[in-house]
Amino acid sequence: PAGDVRVLSTWDFGAAANDAAFARLRAGGTLLDAVEAGARVPEADPENHSVGYGGYPDRDGHVTLDAVIMDDAGAVGAVAALEETVHAISVARRVMEKTPHTFLVGEGATRFAREQGFEKVDLLTPPAEQAWREWLKTAKYQPVANSETGTYGTAAPHRTPGGALDHDTIGLLARTADGRMAGACTTSGMAFKIRGRVGDSPQVGAGLYVERGVGGATSTGVGEEVTRVAGSARVVASMRAGRSAQVACEEVVRHIAALRGDAIKGMQVGFLALDTKGNVGAFCLLPGFTYAVTDARGTTTVHSAPSLY
């Protein structure tokens, strides 16, 4: 039931991230501690090719990371095009806590990470390098739903050894029993993107938005389609206007579909929302968007959120 402590996040790997976030709350951590701990799980996982270490590189072979963290009291920190650092979410948090700014990018963000003591790590793992070299043979930009490899990549969606589709970005939303909330979003962005490309994920209002007394939203999929409409801010605005978390997600997906028509054929965009009472919303363009919900009773993974098509 709604009303208790609840953590919500995108894709299958969200379950492990939720568990880490939930454990952090249980141990007395703050909401920011919790969403940071959750985001760090896929960031450190070399098997996850769309977040952090092991992420697919840009078209020049550099793994570049985007992340944002925020709470409902106006605390915000973000990084984009961060390199050679595993935990982009933690660097984002340092931007929030240690600087007067909300957003650092590129070389400056990477230098700031070093100043803050984050270890320099080569993020390009052999499998990710191999996938990039494969991609270079055709260098074709063709978005494919639910597949980070296929997104701007090769024809066939990549599958993990377990057979699961190799999914995207993690967005997390967490809520305590008093209705307070925080969120985090972290990604290596589109596989084989143009160097310098920044998606929706690190942008407040696009990849993530949290508002006190209303709720939060986060997105995954082709970031350009979310950025274009300030997607997560729009979901929260719809909730503020009285729509449920579910209807708010549906409304924004429908808005994108109506706005973009054939231009987004075959592309995935998905939103998750959590209101201050703990109600969950999830909606996407195409079938196949998975998410995980954790509360005191445990974690439930929903393998296919309702979709427009």
Report phi then psi at 177, rounded to 5.
Answer: -60, -25
Cβ closer to ligand SD4: 201 or 238? 201
DSSP structural state of residue 204: B
Q: Site for ligand SD4 (CB under 6 A): which residue of 43, 83, 200, 250?
A: 200
Judged by beta carbon, residue 34 or residue 81, the one nearer ligand SD4 is 81
With contacts defined by CB under 6 A, name the span among 82-90, 197-205, 283-291, 294-302 that binds ligand SD4.
197-205
Query: By CB neighbour count within 10 A (0-12 exposed, 13-18 middle, 19+ buried), where does 22 fall?
Result: buried
SS3 state at 202: coil
- Marked catalytic residue, from 10, 151, 154, 169: 169
Contact 38, 17 (CB under 8 A): yes
Cβ proximity to ligand SD4, 24 vs 167, nearer residue: 167
Q: How far apart, in whole angstroms, are the C-alpha atoms of residue 170 and residue 38?
A: 9
β 76-82/103-105 pair status: parallel
- The Cα–Cα gap between 54 and 290 comes to 21
| Tokens (6 digits) for 161 | 């050894």
Closer to ligand SD4 by Cβ: residue 5 or 282: 282
For ligand SD4 (CB under 6 A), the number of binding residues is 14
Q: Quick one: which of 38, 52, 153, 189 contacts ligand SD4 (CB under 6 A)?
A: 189
User: Least CB distance from residue 168 to ligand SD4, whole Å?
Assistant: 3
Q: How far is the CB of 39 from ligand SD4 (least distance, A)?
A: 14
> In whole angstroms, what is the distance from residue 252 CA to residue 280 CA?
15
Which string of x and - marks every residue 214-243 that binds ligand SD4 (by CB under 6 A)? ------xxxx--------------------
Residue 165 CB, nearest distance to ligand SD4 (Å)? Answer: 11
Cβ proximity to ligand SD4: between 25 and 198 the closer is 198
> What is the rounded distance in angstroms from the CA atom of residue 252 to the CA atom of residue 254?
5
Q: Which amino acid is at 231?
A: G
Phi, psi of 282 (to 5 degrees): -155, 130
Supply the minimum distance, in Å, between the C-beta of residue 29 and ligand SD4: 26
Selected range binding ligand SD4 among 23-31, 97-105, 193-201, 251-259, rule: CB under 6 A: 193-201
Binding residue (CB under 6 A) for ligand SD4 from 190, 204, 208, 264:
190
Q: Tokens standing for 97?
A: 């806590």
In angstroms, what is the minimal distance from the CB of 143 to ligand SD4? 8
Question: In this structure, what token pair is assigned to residue 200?
Answer: 């929706």
Q: DSSP assignment of 151-197, as one string?
A: TTT-SSPPB-TTS-B----EEEEEE-TTS-EEEEEEE--STTPPTT-
Residue 129: phi and psi, rounded to 5, are -65, -40
Site string for ligand SD4, 129-168 (x = CB under 6 A): -------------------x--x----------------x
Question: What CA–CA distance (Å, rounded) separates 232 from 119?
Answer: 32
Comparing CB distances to ligand SD4, the nearer of 118 and 152 is 152
For the question of residue 99 being annotated catalytic, the response is no
- The CB-of-220 to ligand SD4 minimum distance in angstroms stands at 4
Residues that bind ligand SD4 (CB under 6 A): 148, 151, 168-169, 187, 189-190, 199-201, 220-223
Residues belonging to the active site: 169
